[in-house]
Structure 1
Amino acid sequence: MDLNTNIKSVVAVTLLTAIISPVLAYILVCAVDQKGYARIVGYAGINILVGIIIFVMNIKRGKHLYNKEFWRYAFGFNVPLLAYYLSQVIFNQSDRIMISHITGTSDAAMYGVAYNLATILTFILNAINGSYVPWLYGKIKDHKAEENKTISLILTVLMGLMILCVIWYAPEIIIVMAGKNYEAAIYVVAPVAMSLLLLFYCQFFINVEFYYEEKGMLVYGSVGAALLNVVLNAVLIPAFGFVAAGYTTFISYIVFALSNFYTMRLVLKKKKLPDNMYNYKALLIIFILFMLSGFLGVILYAHLIARVMITLIVFMLLVLNRNKFIEALEKIKGR
């Protein structure tokens, strides 16, 4: 398969879905009385339609609807992961449900706006991972996994910088998106957006677990982190309000990332393989710097000019080092 074509297809489908879904949901919400159902149909309808189209295309390309060996493998691989996928739903929805029951629907709406903004880059994360995984698996197969050290760090920096842009300019974005009535929601954006980089780390480790078809510990880790999120919400939301839910999400994703890090290393040890795919020390340093930068942005929320000046300085540094990022992306595309 031509990976360049594959990358473009993944990015195109992801972007179109990410753009069309909220637009359709907004149109339906404005057009009908059942606002909740309209929003569900808007988001789910597009995903279902895209899924059906991709399914039909794959069936036509494969020329066979049923292959016993493939079906058995697919069920054997995915059925044990149902608990993992369910835990992700809990991660995404439990905060708002619990806020609604504990402090009220207005706070839940406030949190929802901030959460949607903080996770707006999820589609980019998925597109990057969709293009990166075939490259990574090819390197593992060719016994060149150590080449991933540099690539993974550059991708992490790129993802981190995009997330920081959302964190640093959350006040302005939220006012444009939802108006000044939702201004209090800005303090939820930072911890939830930071969780997105932790999810990016999780994908690094989960990709290796999937390659070696080791899924058991992933399920335990994801369910445990989701339950921890629920427990922390029950304790902290009544005491500190809806903003606490952002930090419970952040803490839960730290646990989830550590769980997958530990599991991946166990898998490599079990397979008697070298643990040379990631520079763990550098990943940790990047995350600490990212976290400090994120909270610096929160401290500077009242000082737009300072935020803009710092952003321009960082942008100039990126331009000066642009060749390193371009080279890394070309390596992935050229696999």
Structure 2
Amino acid sequence: MKHCINKSEQSSNRVLKAGIGYTIGNYLLKGLSFFTIPLFTRLLTTQDYGKYSVFLSYEDIVFVLIGFAIHSSYKNARYKYGLCSEGTKKGKDYYAYVSATICLILCSAACWLLAVNLFSKPLENLLQVDQICLNLLVLYAFGSAIMTCYNTDAGLDYKYQKFIKISGINAVLNILLSLILILLIFPKNGYIGRVLGSTTAVVIVAISIVVEFFHRSKPSRDSALLKWGIKYSAPIIPHGLSQIVLNQFDRIMIMKMETEAKAGIYSFAYNIYALVQVTAGSLDNVWGPWFYQKRKDDEINAIKKYSGYYAFFMMLFSSAIIFISPELIKLLGNKSYWDAIYCVIPIVAGGYFSFLYTIPSSVEYYHGKTQYIASGTALAAVMNIGMNYIFIRRYGYIAAAYTTLATYFLYFLFHYLIAIKIEGKNLFSNNVMVGCTLGILVAVALGNVLINYVGIRILLVLLLIAIALIYEEKEIGIIKHREEVKKNEQ
């Protein structure tokens, strides 16, 4: 019995350690970007910043198409195929499957490079980018797809150190190469320097990852493995594209309907949203594998309990970001970007609902019901385009921030209802989800009302921190547990 408890505690500690490791590592990486934001906003005009942001929006679209969203199959493939050490025949195991998916992405990227050069003229007119940037777009998307596969693979075994290492190299190279190119080669066309620096960095990292995967295992020759992966991931492609509409299409619409400068200001607000996105993404690397294991073991009470903690603490964190977001905007950008203050509050709140979606979507991924994932996200995306078209024309680009909040809420709600339908029951707490929804909306209202009252907003942040610490020690007791472990060791 004691052995089982120790084993359970070790597993919990491993998950907790990985969650903290991913979060701290991501913040260190994001810190590199944050320190350079004031530099890039001074080296790039709002027009150049807008063009670079729109380039990244296009890249997100091409990333989904090149990568087939094949990384989404890794969690299920790990349980389906197993490892050679677990008795699986070599060449039919999970590692061989991963290498086969990398071959798929390499072939896909080659086809896309051929296509953008054969049809460069119509694509240039449609996207308003030149042929060189079209090629860079494909290469950047290829590198992103390979890095996403690597990070998903590392997350299955909670190997956050590998994630931090590879992401850190990419971040440092991205910044250094971009600065060198902007300052020394493209001083009058900073947009090109930024794009070329970012693309070169991610391609270098991607090549090293491909070599590592192929060294670990040769690609499987069993076509059935890859056919299963494509069948599993194919419905995720429209889901991924719909997510991009939710995440990025508003910037493209602002550029088309208003100006590149306003697209740049609006995009700048997403640097604050990234604090929520990075935290949620870090924790999801742990939540996903943890949920799979608990659902496999039918530990429903544990899922309901910890998903509630997860949602509540992220609500407190997102609310705190809302209250300090105006000061962060002023700190990171010069006065030409300060109008982003009026966009950032609803954008951060939308980011919370984007995070909240990952809780019920785990049910859809676990059961392989990827067609439901695509339909729910596509519906929210269509509504986002429609609302943007109506409200940007009527109220200007700031309206896009509020349509983003509305559609992300619907996005979460659709997937929450779909998860209940798939399971035939609710694995999560309705009371917690409703409470967290009301909590973040109250934060949005207070953030707007108190936008000119810095002192009151700082007090609210301190209050949220106090609530988080008190609740954590009462319900979970991480600090108390660590102190008890230290006493027992002594």
TM range (shorter): 0.7 to 0.9
The equivalent of 1:74 in structure 2 is: 229
Contact 2:262 2:397 (C-alpha < 8 Å) held by counterparts:
yes
**Distance in 1 separating the partners of 2:468 and 2:227:** 48
The equivalent of 2:322 in structure 1 is: 167
Identity among equivalent positions (%) equals 22
Q: Secondary structure at the match of 2:234?
A: helix
Q: 2:448 aligns with which of 284, 298, 321?
A: 298
Contact 1:84 1:218 (C-alpha < 8 Å) held by counterparts:
yes
Structure 1 47/18 Cα, relative in aligned 2: closer, same or farther at 3 Å? closer
The equivalent of 1:118 in structure 2 is: 273
- Equivalences for residues 4-19 of structure 1 within 5 A: 4=18, 6=158, 8-9=160-161, 12=164, 16=168, 19=171
**Structure 2 unmatched runs, 5+:** 1-10, 19-156, 482-490
**Distance in 1 separating the partners of 2:238 and 2:314:** 28
Tell me if 1:317 matches 2:467: yes
**Distance in 2 separating the partners of 1:228 and 1:135:** 33
Tell me if 1:149 matches 2:299: no
Structure 1 75/8 Cα, relative in aligned 2: closer, same or farther at 3 Å? same
Tell me if 1:307 matches 2:457: yes
Tell me if 1:100 matches 2:230: no
For each residue in 1:173-208, what CA deviation from the matched residue of structure 2 results, as whole angstroms up to 9, or x when unmatched?
Answer: 111111223222111111111111111121112111
Q: Secondary structure at the match of 2:416?
A: helix
Task: Give the aligned residue type for 2:392.
Answer: I
- Equivalences for residues 180-219 of structure 1 within 5 A: 180-219=335-374
Q: 1:252 aligns with which of 407, 411, 423?
A: 407
| TM-score normalised by L of structure 1 | 0.86
Contact 1:7 1:131 (C-alpha < 8 Å) held by counterparts:
no
Say which is worse superposed, 213-222 or 33-42, in terms of deviation.
Answer: 33-42
Q: 1:23 aligns with which of 175, 179, 183?
A: 175
- Residue 24 of structure 1: how far off its partner (Å): 4.6
- Residue 319 of structure 1: how far off its partner (Å): 2.9
The equivalent of 2:24 in structure 1 is: none
For each residue in 1:192-251, what CA deviation from the matched residue of structure 2 results, as whole angstroms up to 9, or x when unmatched?
Answer: 111111111211121110110001122122222222211111110111111100011111
**Distance in 1 separating the partners of 2:229 and 2:198:** 26
**Distance in 2 separating the partners of 1:11 and 1:223:** 30
The equivalent of 1:85 in structure 2 is: 240
**Distance in 2 separating the partners of 1:229 and 1:25:** 36
- Residue 309 of structure 1: how far off its partner (Å): 1.9
**Structure 1 unmatched runs, 5+:** 270-274, 331-335
Contact 2:343 2:401 (C-alpha < 8 Å) held by counterparts:
yes
Say which is worse superposed, 154-163 or 103-112, in terms of deviation.
Answer: 154-163
**Distance in 2 separating the partners of 1:199 and 1:289:** 15
- Residue 23 of structure 1: how far off its partner (Å): 2.9
**Distance in 2 separating the partners of 1:50 and 1:179:** 32
For each residue in 1:56-86, what CA deviation from the matched residue of structure 2 results, as whole angstroms up to 9, or x when unmatched?
Answer: 4344334545443321221111122211112
Contact 1:146 1:276 (C-alpha < 8 Å) held by counterparts:
no
**Distance in 1 separating the partners of 2:430 and 2:261:** 41
Contact 2:276 2:352 (C-alpha < 8 Å) held by counterparts:
no
Say which is worse superposed, 187-196 or 16-25, in terms of deviation.
Answer: 16-25
Larger radius of gyration: 2
- Residue 279 of structure 1: how far off its partner (Å): 0.6
The equivalent of 1:272 in structure 2 is: none
Structure 1 61/119 Cα, relative in aligned 2: closer, same or farther at 3 Å? same
Structure 1 13/281 Cα, relative in aligned 2: closer, same or farther at 3 Å? farther
Highest RCO, 1 vs 2 (Cα 8 Å, sep ≥ 6): 1
For each residue in 1:281-300, what CA deviation from the matched residue of structure 2 results, as whole angstroms up to 9, or x when unmatched?
Answer: 21111121122023212221
Structure 1 254/315 Cα, relative in aligned 2: closer, same or farther at 3 Å? closer
The equivalent of 1:61 in structure 2 is: 216
Tell me if 1:221 matches 2:376: yes
Task: Give the aligned residue type for 2:298.
Answer: H
Q: How many residues align?
A: 324
For each residue in 1:300-333, what CA deviation from the matched residue of structure 2 results, as whole angstroms up to 9, or x when unmatched?
Answer: 12111111222223323333334345549x9xxx
Contact 2:420 2:426 (C-alpha < 8 Å) held by counterparts:
no
Contact 2:312 2:432 (C-alpha < 8 Å) held by counterparts:
no
Q: 1:279 aligns with which of 429, 432, 444?
A: 429
**Distance in 1 separating the partners of 2:172 and 2:312:** 28
The equivalent of 1:333 in structure 2 is: none
The equivalent of 2:58 in structure 1 is: none
Structure 1 34/189 Cα, relative in aligned 2: closer, same or farther at 3 Å? same
Tell me if 1:267 matches 2:422: yes
Task: Calculate the aligned-residue CA RMSD, in Å.
Answer: 2.8
Structure 1 251/79 Cα, relative in aligned 2: closer, same or farther at 3 Å? same
Task: Give the aligned residue type for 1:296.
Answer: L
| TM-score normalised by L of structure 2 | 0.60
Structure 1 161/109 Cα, relative in aligned 2: closer, same or farther at 3 Å? same
